[in-house]
Amino acid sequence: SYDAVGTSAPLVLDAGNLIVDAGATITHTVGTTAVVGSIYIDVQTGSVTIDGTVDAKSKGFAGGGVASDGSGTGKGIYDSGNSGNGGGGGHAGAGGQGNSAGSTGGGTYGSSTAPVTAGSGGAGGFGANTVGTVGGGIIRINSRGNIAIGGTIQANTASGLVITTSG
């Protein structure tokens, strides 16, 4: 077991191959407003074969609660002065604009090719169950050998309810 929450140190495999079999999943815990985990694996001498899933979907910074901003550097902004909409969180791309001028999407930051930061959370909206979604997580896999992907690698976010999404 390897817990990457609060650290950027990789899980190092200094001998052999990494094989993620079909039906198997590598993931990390969901982020909060301040701390997120990551999947960072460094295979020193072997190869990587992924036939299962490496999953950081919705594992980034927390989304905003009802009528509140998201979290993270590119957090979505809640518009309290209009109809109560929330903007989406950003990361390598800008977050989506909410349905009013003040519900801005979060800005871009970080890298999509060498991520060290997680996606930001979207803002919540006004009304029951209109919370912002959690941003996408972090996946880094380094290998001195080949990397073969027959399975799924995902670090995106879920679609938001109403107009609220995240990066």
Tens digits of per-residue pLDDT, 72-105? 999 999 988 767 788 899 998 899 888 888 888 9
Confidence of residue 5 (pLDDT cuts 50, 70, 90): low
Phi, psi of 38 (to 5 degrees): -160, 160
The yes-or-no verdict on residue 34 having pLDDT over 60 is yes
Q: Could you tell me which of 94, 95, 77, 75 has the C-alpha nearest to residue 86? A: 77
Confidence of residue 163 (pLDDT cuts 50, 70, 90): very low
Residue tagged 């074969």 (tokens): 49
* Strand locations in 88-146 (E): 139-143
Q: What is the DSSP string of 32-45?
A: -SS----EEEEESS
Q: Could you tell me which of 77, 67, 40 has the C-alpha nearest to residue 56? A: 40
